[in-house]
């Protein structure tokens, strides 16, 4: 019989104050969020006003939601994740709109909203390609809006939406967001026929428009150049991933385009000439993040020092996220990798990480605070300070966001694309609920606080197979949770351990290829944080998975056969004032099985265990 054990150990920690990272000097130029990833295409909001340091339980104060429904997300064969941009008091977004105005097929639609009210000012539509992934974000500048859609590039008057020019189709599945660099509009084009690979000849030339970077005259739409080498690997083949948008590197000799769809490539925007390329492939769909002369590539996390004639690699790690671009702030990298929020230094060392599971969009920074968008079994926005130490608090707002979209932060407001429109939040005004919560009981200074957890409840073990796994996910948040046959209040031994083998044997429960839950109900005197340090079996060839739920919300997810599996996890969770349920789900394919949890109360939080 396999051993199933759980150890729950408790400690009380002193509160540590972490100084927030200093805000770098804001570059001169436009401070509107007028393009993908902000005015400098690196996710940083320059000259941000002071933002609220806390959110209430409902998140920041919502100012408006768009007056009409605007579809977003995946709709059958359609993908539609473009982000909002903000310029001159207006919000712009591109929508690949299925059945637009009851017309069959698809349309490429550019929408303009009033940034103060969410009222629709104008919409301009064009016939679109009736399938595929089109998730571009517009560029706004010089009184014009440039949008990349399923049937080409569109240039519109920013005030009226009137068409100025448009190009022919750029190919299938275009999600690149345009950049205006040194007087040239730069766009990554489509893939031609799905599944094709385009091979260059010995001179670096080829036929067709398979993943080309192109430059256009922003006044007329005339094609000025094409650069096939920018999307080609060291093996001479295009990777077929044309979702990446160009980054911009400002040098003494003028701005340069930096791409990472094949090798890391530096391109002259005036003529499309390749200045240099890295010796290795990076092949990422995200946008290179450039601050000064340091570049962080998307997909796999890697850092490079940019020189006039080369890129010098600083570090590289194997973790990656194909859905996001990253941040570089105060010498630290903030990334979303394999379902985790992470902070790394420029040697690649991971300084902290928080598991969120699900999909995350590209984060942004304003006033030293990071804003993340995640689809974590309940869509949400997270805010935390950009600090190299584990943040003291992750504030959460649950809203119907698009998991791949990225926020726009402008003038102390956050503009976000949702599944059915756009929404605007006030980031400067702290919600009234925060002041109310702060008047709760004073933190305890008693260093002899008793153990937070003295006993646990044990669920039945459920077979781990496709027919029954839905039943086992998880009983605490299912409608029939009350029918779960918990073995309640199993007291821990003097050394803080409980042996589940006796419990499950007595109940004739399965102990291999199954899942089981441990439930703890805590009463908190005030809102606060609890640190969980958790370990599971790490037997080669016999993977174990760990999942954690706090008050019904997933805060950690490991799967037995899918996703990242780590034998140890560190997690900071938020407790509400009153009753809190912590649910630990352990699963194993075979072999010995145990779960160990250490709980540490932070901020002087006073909690006690109560009956379920």
Alpha-carbon distance of 110 to 79, in angstroms, equals: 16
Using an 8 Å Cβ cutoff, are 267 and 257 in contact?
Answer: yes
pLDDT of 226 > 70? The answer is yes
Grouping H, G, I as helix, E, B as strand and the rest as coil, residue 447 is: coil
pLDDT in tens, 38-94: 999 999 998 899 999 988 877 898 999 998 899 887 765 567 888 999 999 999 999
HEC secondary structure over 41-74: CCCECCCCCCCCCCCECCECEEEEECCCCCCCCC
H-helix or E-strand containing 311?
A: strand 310-321
Nearest in space to 129 (alpha carbons), one of 103, 157, 152, 158: 152
Alpha-carbon distance of 229 to 274, in angstroms, equals: 8
Phi, psi of 476 (to 5 degrees): -70, -25
Please state, for a pLDDT cut of 70, what percent of the chain lies above it.
74
Mean pLDDT lowest for which of 170-174, 468-472, 492-496?
468-472
Average pLDDT on 459-463 reads: 78
pLDDT of 332 > 90? The answer is yes
* DSSP string over 358-425: SEE---EEETTEEEEEEESSSEEEEEEE--SSPPS--EEE---B-TT---EEETTEEEEEETTEEEEE
Domain residue limits, the chain = 4-16+444-609, 44-67+289-439
Nearest in space to 311 (alpha carbons), one of 294, 332, 292, 333: 294
Confidence of residue 496 (pLDDT cuts 50, 70, 90): low
Using an 8 Å Cβ cutoff, are 415 and 66 in contact?
Answer: no
pLDDT in tens, 523-550: 888 888 888 877 776 655 555 677 888 8
Q: What is the pLDDT of residue 206?
A: 40
Using an 8 Å Cβ cutoff, are 42 and 291 in contact?
Answer: yes
Nearest in space to 139 (alpha carbons), one of 86, 70, 215, 189: 86
Class of domain 4-16+444-609: mainly beta
Is domain 44-67+289-439 annotated with CATH 1.10.3210.10? no
The residues that bridge with 7 in the sheet, in sequence order, are 497, 596
Region label for 481, one of left (φ > 0), alpha (ψ between -120 and 50) or beta (otherwise): alpha
Alpha-carbon distance of 467 to 511, in angstroms, equals: 17
pLDDT of 244 > 90? The answer is no
Q: How far apart are the two ends of the chain, measured CA to CA in Å?
A: 29
Using an 8 Å Cβ cutoff, are 500 and 2 in contact?
Answer: no
pLDDT in tens, 403-435: 778 899 999 999 999 888 999 999 998 766 444
């Amino acid at each position: 019989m396999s051993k199933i054990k759980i150890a729950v150990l408790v400690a009380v920690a002193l509160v540590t104050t972490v100084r927030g990272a200093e805000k770098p000097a804001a570059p001169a130029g436009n401070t509107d969020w007028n393009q993908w990833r902000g005015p400098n295409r690196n996710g940083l909001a320059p000259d941000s006003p002071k933002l609220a340091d806390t959110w209430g339980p409902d998140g920041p104060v919502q100012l408006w939601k768009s007056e009409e429904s605007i579809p977003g997300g995946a709709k059958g064969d359609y993908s539609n994740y473009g982000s909002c941009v903000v310029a001159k008091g207006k919000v712009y977004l591109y929508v690949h709109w299925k059945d637009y105005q009851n017309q069959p097929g698809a349309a490429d639609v550019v929408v303009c909203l009033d940034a103060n009210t969410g009222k629709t000012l104008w919409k301009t539509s064009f016939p679109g390609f009736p399938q595929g992934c089109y998730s571009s974000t517009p560029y706004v500048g010089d009184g014009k809006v440039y949008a990349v859609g399923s049937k080409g590039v569109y240039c519109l008057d920013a005030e009226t939406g009137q068409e100025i020019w448009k190009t022919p189709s750029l190919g299938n599945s275009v999600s690149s967001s345009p950049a205006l660099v040194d007087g040239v509009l730069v766009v990554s084009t489509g893939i031609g026929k799905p599944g094709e690979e385009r091979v260059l000849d010995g001179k670096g030339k080829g036929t067709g428009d398979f993943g080309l970077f192109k430059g256009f005259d922003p006044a007329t739409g005339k094609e000025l150049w094409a650069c096939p080498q920018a999307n080609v690997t060291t093996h001479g083949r295009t990777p077929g991933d044309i979702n990446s948008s160009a980054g911009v590197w400002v040098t003494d000799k003028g701005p340069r385009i930096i791409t990472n769809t094949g090798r890391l490539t530096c391109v002259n925007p005036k003529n499309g000439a390749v200045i240099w390329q890295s010796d290795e492939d990076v092949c990422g769909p995200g946008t290179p993040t450039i601050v000064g002369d340091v570049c962080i590539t998307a997909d796999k996390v890697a850092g490079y020092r940019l020189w006039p004639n080369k890129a010098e690699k600083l570090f590289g790690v194997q973790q990656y996220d194909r859905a996001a671009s990253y941040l570089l702030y105060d010498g630290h990298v903030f990334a979303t990798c394999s379902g985790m929020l992470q902070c790394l230094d420029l040697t690649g060392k991971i300084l902290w990480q928080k598991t969120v599971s699900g999909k995350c969009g590209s984060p942004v920074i304003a006033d030293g605070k990071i804003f993340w968008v995640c689809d974590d079994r309940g869509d949400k926005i997270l805010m935390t300070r950009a600090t190299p130490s584990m943040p003291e608090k992750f504030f959460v707002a649950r809203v119907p966001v698009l998991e791949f979209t990225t926020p726009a932060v402008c003038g102390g407001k956050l503009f976000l694309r949702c599944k059915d429109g756009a929404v605007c939040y006030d980031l400067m005004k702290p919600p009234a609920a925060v002041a109310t919560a702060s008047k709760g009981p004073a933190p305890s200074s008693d260093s002899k606080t008793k153990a937070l957890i003295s006993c646990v409840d044990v669920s039945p073990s459920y077979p781990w197979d496709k027919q029954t796994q839905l039943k086992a996910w998880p009983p605490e948040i299912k409608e029939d949770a009350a029918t779960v046959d918990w073995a309640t209040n199993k007291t821990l031994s003097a050394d803080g351990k409980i042996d589940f083998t006796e419990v499950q044997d007595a109940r004739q429960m399965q102990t291999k290829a199954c899942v089981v839950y441990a439930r703890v109900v805590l009463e908190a005197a005030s809102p606060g944080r609890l640190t969980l340090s958790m370990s599971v079996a790490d037997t080669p060839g016999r993977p174990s998975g760990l999942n954690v739920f706090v008050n019904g919300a997933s805060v950690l997810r490991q799967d037995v056969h899918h996703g990242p599996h780590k034998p140890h996890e560190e997690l900071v969770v938020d407790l509400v004032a009153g009753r809190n349920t912590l649910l630990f789900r352990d699963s194993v394919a075979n072999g010995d099985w145990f779960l160990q949890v250490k709980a540490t109360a932070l901020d002087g939080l006073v909690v006690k265990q109560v009956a379920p």
